Amino acid sequence: MFADRATIYVKSGKGGDGHVSFRREKYVPNGGPDGGDGGHGGDVIFRVDEGMNTLADYRHVRKYKAEDGEIGGKRNCHGKNGQSIVLKVPSGTVIKEAETGKVIADMSGDTREVVLLKGGRGGNGNQHYATSTMQAPKYAQPGQPAQELTLLLELKVIADVGLVGFPNVGKSTLLSRVSNAQPKIANYHFTTLTPNLGVVDLEDARGFVIADIPGLIEGASQGAGLGHEFLRHIERTKVIIHIVDAAGTEGRDPIADIYAINKELENYNADISKRPQVIAANKIDAIYSTEESDPLAALKAEFEPKGIPVYPISAISGQGLKELLYHVREMLDGLDQEPTVFAQEYFPEEERVSDRDMPYTVVYDQDADEYVVEGPRIEKMLGYTNLESEKGFTFFQNFLRDNGILQELEQLGIEEGDTVRMYGLSFDYYK
């Protein structure tokens, strides 16, 4: 079964607690603290797998958890880091926060791997808390808690061109004629139950990817028929080929059909309805024009003044397909070639450290000649921020500014080049 949606629960690993212990050796009566640090919790990582084309695996298993970090040990032994969990998804998968529907990551374009949830940082052992006035600290830092989220995974196929139209107008037949795709074809509605992708190769021009979207009907944007299940797959397309039964073999009005489908596209996503369109007037081999009725002329009179070209074709015989495809190629050449990528709207790290009621302190340690920033809010931020990534470090800087920490450091007289310490991490201060 084709699966293009799945709801899953993910949780990163908890950081291991720091250890409290003291050196005990013969002839060393007053050994100092030697409690080791806890291991870091495992991350939740999403990675694109080019061999996957559905989300079926996530229909059966819905809970995924990374390993917790181990606690620290005696003799400065560091706890083992938890194993990260890697979740593979097909290219084009959009990861959303389930409750809000906001985008966390779009696994397409240059994005092939993301650390979605950072594991909790391991706590410091008591060895870190020895000072000249406290030589036997009996405190160790607990590990950072894990992050957890309920995610909505949506696969939005990556195609240059989308085929839309009412059921049984010839979309699958057209796709099979112009590409390497082999969709199921029969003379009844809803033959196509899954989106089909095909690559169109042109002799003296660049090819493109085309997607056959299962038949839409009126009310699809509100959940009627099957089309509502697959409307998401045309969100990335740059050009829409609107296929109509120009012969009206089922007694339908092709002009009314086009307006009806465009209305559904607009109701679903107004941006989609604004994409460039071309009309493929199919089944011209079954048209019987009269002086009173010429459906092709009526289609052209209605839509070409609005800038939507009409191409008469026969998907069965192949008549007119070459002209249609080359025109579509010209349309694509005139558009931005960058793939549609959905911007991030939900930031897990921000959600975790947004509680401004959590305290923190900013002090100057004269003995170490360092500025020390500590407290639950700082600890929480560091536990959920990947400082090794550009995005994570930017968030870290914004956090310090927005929470007034930079201002407090300046009030204490900090100067460029001075050291700032935050729970075992040291930074040089620069404006």
Same domain, yes or no: 190 and 151: no
Structure tokens at 412: 């204490």
What pLDDT is stored for residue 225 in this prediction?
A: 43
- CATH number, domain of 174, equals 3.40.50.300
Torsion sign across C-alpha atoms 56, 60, 63, 65: negative
Rounded to an integer, the average pLDDT of 341-359 is 70
Query: pLDDT tens digits for 16-43?
Result: 998 988 887 777 666 788 889 999 999 9
Residue 217: its H or E element: none
Q: What is the DSSP string of 226-270?
A: TGGGTGGGGTT-SEEEEEEETT-TTS--HHHHHHHHHHHHHHH-H
Pairing state between β 419-422 and 425-428: antiparallel
Same domain, yes or no: 168 and 310: yes
213 lies in some domain: yes
Same domain, yes or no: 390 and 414: yes
321 lies in some domain: yes
The partner residues of 185 in beta bridges, in order of sequence, read none
Same domain, yes or no: 149 and 167: no
Query: pLDDT tens digits for 126-163?
Result: 888 777 667 777 778 888 888 899 999 988 777 788 88
Report the alpha-carbon distance of residue 277 to residue 308 in Å, rounded: 6
Q: The domain containing residue 422 runs over which residues?
A: 347-431
Same domain, yes or no: 303 and 357: no
166 lies in some domain: yes
Same domain, yes or no: 148 and 3: yes
The pTM of the full predicted model, rounded to 2 decimals, is 0.64
Q: Which of 155, 188, 215 is the last residue of a domain?
A: 155
Same domain, yes or no: 72 and 174: no
Q: Kindly indicate the confidence band of residue 84, based on its pLDDT and cuts at 50, 70 and 90.
A: very high
Question: Which of 168-172, 191-195, 207-211, 231-235 is predicted least confidently?
Answer: 191-195
Same domain, yes or no: 171 and 317: yes
What pLDDT is stored for residue 54 in this prediction?
A: 79
Rounded to an integer, the average pLDDT of 366-375 is 86
Same domain, yes or no: 314 and 278: yes
Q: Kindly indicate the confidence band of residue 104, based on its pLDDT and cuts at 50, 70 and 90.
A: very high
What pLDDT is stored for residue 185 in this prediction?
A: 37
Same domain, yes or no: 186 and 121: no
What pLDDT is stored for residue 394 in this prediction?
A: 77
Same domain, yes or no: 187 and 312: yes
What pLDDT is stored for residue 223 in this prediction?
A: 45
Those residues whose C-beta lies under 8 Å from the C-beta of residue 156, and which sit 6 or more positions away, are: 4, 92, 93, 94, 232, 233, 235, 236
Q: Which of 115, 134, 155 is the last residue of a domain?
A: 155
193 pLDDT above the threshold of 60:
no
Q: What percent of the chain has pLDDT over 70?
A: 83
Q: Kindly indicate the confidence band of residue 206, based on its pLDDT and cuts at 50, 70 and 90.
A: confident
310 lies in some domain: yes
Q: Which of 102, 125, 155 is the last residue of a domain?
A: 155
- CATH number, domain of 108, equals 2.70.210.12
221 pLDDT above the threshold of 50:
no
| Mean pLDDT, the chain, integer | 80
Q: What percent of the chain has pLDDT over 90?
A: 19
Output Rg (C-alpha) for the chain, integer angstroms: 30
Same domain, yes or no: 122 and 252: no
What DSSP designation does 22 have?
B
Highest mean pLDDT among 46-50, 199-203, 293-297: 46-50
What DSSP designation does 349 have?
H
190 pLDDT above the threshold of 50:
no
- How many domains are there within the chain? 3
- CATH number, domain of 362, equals 3.30.300.350
339 lies in some domain: no
Taking alpha carbons only, the member of 53, 386, 9, 349 closest to residue 196 is: 53
251 lies in some domain: yes
